[in-house]
């Protein structure tokens, strides 16, 4: 600004002194406006910022503002105004001196951050005008980037080298130096919560063994500020409503590249709850509001729980259409008794209706596929519960990686518009690869799967799987919402082969299915299946009488009926809720076929989210199969158990009835219980500990490992163990170590399950 200000002042001063020979007559109008010196800057862009007009009187103030606006473009180092007088008016010449042009931008010395990421981070770009203030901002951006990765002493040097033709080469030279880790976190003044309890809350922690290989343990100022808020919040959950922390003290040890963080805590007095009351209104009574408040008199005042209670009260009103309801707590502190009295009243606001519903980001998924999952309709009264359920249903489709809903006031009074901000994810996969299972050994697989076919929500899967025990080929198609109704239609073609050691089972068939949704969480489905099944005995073993009776081919015609109720929060990785499934299947009889049997099963799972993001799952399943009409239940309809998907620590050869060769032949009934606790360390890495208890019961073959007394709770196999689930871009991996609690003399103490490349 300095150069152009001096030039403008000199020009204006000369024009204001008494007029002499050769002086410019400023009374004449502006006849012409010219731009001089612009080589790379667009002349039309410059003219856009000039407010002086031809034909108008000359104005010192206007030209001064013209120069300021042109300079603010950031393209020029110097701007001069030259005024030339002609007979019919004045010519204004804006003479500009362009900044150097950036010919190239080079990053040197960056190892921790790829050059391509660095070039995206900085604002200085090839082909732009060189600006020193942009260079300074880029240096700060680079340093902050490295600070987040723990490189506390990173230096950034810049240079701009002239290359002729008013161009420069810009270089960012980065000196990373050593990575700084948190060596120690010291707490002062804490009495109620010990050091371990406080450090467990924080994300800023001292660098342990595993943290040496990750970014964990790195010092980040912003994260430490959040940690301070976390600690203060935790104290307030125990009644220390005035707890506070001093500004963290950070000491840097340059020699060993570590820092010491000292946090000083002022706990204050502990407050307990006194009287708790609510003010009712025409919408909800005092008792209805109080039913949403779980705080009780005499308890320590828990800030987080109180906040949750207020949100629950707000939900009560939102479900009645009062979208802007606001609970207004009146909190009175009593210093002498260290108690807090609370009175909750609610400002309900007005009833709100849904205006427009717009979907954004569904570039592939059809609009009707999105709208059919919405439980709120345009023109309907607002409901917070329905909005939450709509968001949940959209997430459960599996088509979107993110589902956010913006609530905006409409132009119409008492109306709210909803914008669904959707982030689509890949729903199709093309896989041809290898997998491994401790039971089936090497697995070859190839599959083409699309869960959102042409954006219609339809699912198609074509594939094959081959391993030591199985040979499977299949085609599955499902339309989950036929004509956007709560009706699903599907079909499947399959060819399966499984080796049970003593015999091999071959199955080829076709299936048709139809489902119908009832209510919000319940679904019923009906399916028909026709199979041609062949049992082929293994010549290496002496077959039993039972297996000899099973040899040969049979045609199976069966119909199945399933009722399910799914109230889990998310379907693919639930943390709360439950799912129950009741399944029935009938074969033969009026359906024809060579085999008459029925099968009944009930399967249920319940999930609980615990503090610190732990999740507990309890699962149970009971099954029963039987023949009728004087026929025998075929071996290929028997139940089997053991492996990574049900009774971990066992293989299917170790559970249930055996033949004389010691090979499992399955049974006509089964019972299993699973208790599992999991913790997600990251989005793709989850740890699991479990207890499994199960058994397969029957009346055929050797029952030394089971009994013919069905559902005998005292005769069950059980195991404990732990495992990890890893989700990679290529395939999921499931590793589990199961330890038998009742090993037989001929069994191993432990079974390791390693499954890769299949859905667990």
Residues of 177-215 as b/e, b for ≥16 C-beta within 10 angstroms?
eebbbbbebebeebeebeeeebbeebebbbbeeeeeeee
Domain check: are 339 and 367 in the same one? no
Residue 362 lies in a domain: yes
**Which tens digits make up the pLDDT trace of 592-609?**
999 999 999 999 999 999
Q: What is the full DSSP assignment across 312-327?
A: HHHHHHHTTT-TT-EE
Q: Report the C-alpha gap between 518 and 228 in whole angstroms.
A: 49
Q: Is residue 470 within 8 Å of 497, Cβ to Cβ? A: yes
Q: Which of 732, 748, 647, 740 is nearest to 436 (CA)?
A: 732
Mean pLDDT of 686-714: 92
pLDDT score for 623: 97
Q: Which domain holds residue 420?
A: 353-424
Considering the chain, what is the average pLDDT of its residues? Answer: 86
**Last residue of a domain, which of 424, 445, 471?**
424
Total residues found in the chain within this entry: 760
**Which tens digits make up the pLDDT trace of 216-274?**
556 777 888 899 999 999 999 999 999 999 999 988 776 776 788 899 999 999 999 99
Residue 166 lies in a domain: yes
pLDDT over 70 (residue 212): no
pLDDT score for 209: 44
pLDDT score for 44: 87
Residue 51 lies in a domain: yes
pLDDT score for 217: 58
Domain check: are 294 and 149 in the same one? no
Q: Report the C-alpha gap between 69 and 63 in whole angstroms.
A: 10
Residue 471 lies in a domain: no
pLDDT score for 12: 45
Run of H or E residues at 212: none
**Which tens digits make up the pLDDT trace of 87-115?**
888 999 999 888 888 889 999 988 888 88
**Last residue of a domain, which of 295, 329, 347?**
347
Domain check: are 369 and 331 in the same one? no
pLDDT score for 10: 42
How many domains is the chain built from? 6
Q: Strand 89-98 and strand 30-36: pairing?
A: parallel
Model pTM?
0.62
Burial class (CB in 10 A: 0-12, 13-18, 19+), 411: exposed
Domain check: are 92 and 105 in the same one? no
Placement of tokens 């990421």 in the chain: 117
Q: Which of 73, 112, 70 is nearest to 94 (CA)?
A: 70
Domain check: are 376 and 320 in the same one? no
H helices of 41-87, where? 43-48, 60-71
Kindly report the three-state secondary structure assignment for every residue of 595-626: CCEEEEEEEEEEEEECHHHEEEEEEEEEEEEE
Q: Distance from CA of residue 244 to its chain's centroid?
A: 33
Lowest-pLDDT choice from 56-65, 241-250, 750-759: 750-759
**Last residue of a domain, which of 175, 205, 229?**
175
Residues of 443-462 as b/e, b for ≥16 C-beta within 10 angstroms?
bebeeebbbbbebebbbbbe
Q: Report the C-alpha gap between 540 and 499 in whole angstroms.
A: 13
Domain check: are 248 and 167 in the same one? no
Q: Report the C-alpha gap between 93 and 47 in whole angstroms.
A: 12
Q: Strand 717-727 and strand 181-188: pairing?
A: unpaired
Domain check: are 564 and 636 in the same one? yes
Residue 127 lies in a domain: yes
Residue 56 lies in a domain: yes
pLDDT over 60 (residue 203): yes
CA dist 569 → 423, 564, 577, 604, 702 (Å): 19, 15, 6, 15, 44
**Which tens digits make up the pLDDT trace of 121-157?**
888 888 888 888 888 999 999 988 887 777 777 889 9
Domain check: are 581 and 671 in the same one? yes
Domain check: are 600 and 733 in the same one? yes
The CATH number covering residue 171 comes to 3.10.20.310
Tell whether the torsion through CA atoms of 56, 61, 67 and 73 is positive or negative: negative
Residue 114 lies in a domain: yes
Residue 454 lies in a domain: no
Domain check: are 155 and 53 in the same one? no
Q: Strand 181-188 and strand 258-266: pairing?
A: parallel
pLDDT over 90 (residue 465): no
Q: Is residue 667 within 8 Å of 698, Cβ to Cβ? A: yes
Q: Is residue 709 within 8 Å of 721, Cβ to Cβ? A: no
The CATH number covering residue 510 comes to 2.40.160.50
**Which tens digits make up the pLDDT trace of 386-415?**
998 899 889 888 888 888 888 888 878 889
Domain check: are 87 and 129 in the same one? no
Q: Strand 101-108 and strand 167-175: pairing?
A: parallel
Domain check: are 730 and 671 in the same one? yes
């Amino acid at each position: 600004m300095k150069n152009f200000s001096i030039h403008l002042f000199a020009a204006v001063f000369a024009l204001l002194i008494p007029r002499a020979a050769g002086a410019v007559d400023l009374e004449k109008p502006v006849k012409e406006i010219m731009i001089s010196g612009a080589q790379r800057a667009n002349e039309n862009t410059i003219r856009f910022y000039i407010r002086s007009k031809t034909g108008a009187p000359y104005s010192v103030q206007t030209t001064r503002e013209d120069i300021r606006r042109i300079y603010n473009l950031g393209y020029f180092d110097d701007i001069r105004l030259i005024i030339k007088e002609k007979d019919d008016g004045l010519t204004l010449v804006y003479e500009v001196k362009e900044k150097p042009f950036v010919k190239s931008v080079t990053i040197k010395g960056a190892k921790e951050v790829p050059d391509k990421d660095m070039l995206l981070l900085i604002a200085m770009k090839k082909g732009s005008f060189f600006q020193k203030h942009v260079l300074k901002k880029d240096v700060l951006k680079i340093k902050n980037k490295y600070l987040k990765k723990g490189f506390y002493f990173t230096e950034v040097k810049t240079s701009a080298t002239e290359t002729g033709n008013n161009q420069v080469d810009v270089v960012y030279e980065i000196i990373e130096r050593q990575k700084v880790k948190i060596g120690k976190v010291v707490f002062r003044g804490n009495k109620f919560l010990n050091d371990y309890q406080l450090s467990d809350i924080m994300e800023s922690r001292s660098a342990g063994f595993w943290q040496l290989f990750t970014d964990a343990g790195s010092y980040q100022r912003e994260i430490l500020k959040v940690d301070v808020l976390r600690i203060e919040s935790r104290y307030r959950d125990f009644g220390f409503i005035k707890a506070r922390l001093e500004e963290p003290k950070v000491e840097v040890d340059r020699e060993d590249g570590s820092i010491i963080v000292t946090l000083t805590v002022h706990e204050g007095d502990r407050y307990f709850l006194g009287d708790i009351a609510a003010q009712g209104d025409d919408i909800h009574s005092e008792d209805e509001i109080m039913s949403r408040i779980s705080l009780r008199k005499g308890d320590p005042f828990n800030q987080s729980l109180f906040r949750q209670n207020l949100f629950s009260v707000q939900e009560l009103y939102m479900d009645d259409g009062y979208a802007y309801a606001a609970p207004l707590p009146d909190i009175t502190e009593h210093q002498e008794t260290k108690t807090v009295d609370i009175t909750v009243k609610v400002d309900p606001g007005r009833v709100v209706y849904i205006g427009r519903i717009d979907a954004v980001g569904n570039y592939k998924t059809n609009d009707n596929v999105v709208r059919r999952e919405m439980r709120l309709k345009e023109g309907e009264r607002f409901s917070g519960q329905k909005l939450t359920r709509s968001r949940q249903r959209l997430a459960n489709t599996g088509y979107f990686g993110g589902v956010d809903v913006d609530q905006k006031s409409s132009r119409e009074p008492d109306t709210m518009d909803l914008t669904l901000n959707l982030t689509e994810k890949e729903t199709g996969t093309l896989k041809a690869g290898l997998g491994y299972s401790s039971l089936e050994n090497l697995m070859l697989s190839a599959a083409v799967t699309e869960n959102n076919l042409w954006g219609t929500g339809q699912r198609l899967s074509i594939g094959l799987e081959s391993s030591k025990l199985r040979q499977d080929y299949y085609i599955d198609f499902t339309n989950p919402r036929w004509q956007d109704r709560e009706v699903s239609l599907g079909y499947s073609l399959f060819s399966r082969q499984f080796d049970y050691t003593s015999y091999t089972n071959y199955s080829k068939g076709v299936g048709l299915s139809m489902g119908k949704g009832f209510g919000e969480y319940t679904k019923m489905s009906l399916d028909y299946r026709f199979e041609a099944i062949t049992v082929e005995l293994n010549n290496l073993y002496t077959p039993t009488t039972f297996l000899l009776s099973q040899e040969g081919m049979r045609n199976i015609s069966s119909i199945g009926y399933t009722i399910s109720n799914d109230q889990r929060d998310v379907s693919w990785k639930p943390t709360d809720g439950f799912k129950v499934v009741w399944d029935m299947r009938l074969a033969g009889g009026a359906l024809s076929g060579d085999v008459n049997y029925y099968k009944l099963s009930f399967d249920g799972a319940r999930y609980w989210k615990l503090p610190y993001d732990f999740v507990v799952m309890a699962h149970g399943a009971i099954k029963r199969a039987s023949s009728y009409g004087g026929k025998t239940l075929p071996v290929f309809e028997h139940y089997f158990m053991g492996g990574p998907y049900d009774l971990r620590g066992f293989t299917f050869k170790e559970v249930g009835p055996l033949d004389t060769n010691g090979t499992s032949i399955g049974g006509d009934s089964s019972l299993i219980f699973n208790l599992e606790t999991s913790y997600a360390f990251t989005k793709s890495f989850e740890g699991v500990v479990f207890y499994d208890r199960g058994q397969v019961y029957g009346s055929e073959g050797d029952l030394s490992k089971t009994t013919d007394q069905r559902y005998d709770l005292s005769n069950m196999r059980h195991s404990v163990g732990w495992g990890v689930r890893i989700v990679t871009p290529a395939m999921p991996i499931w590793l589990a170590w199961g330890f038998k609690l009742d090993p037989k003399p001929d069994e191993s103490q432990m079974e390791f399950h390693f499954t890769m490349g299949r859905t667990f």
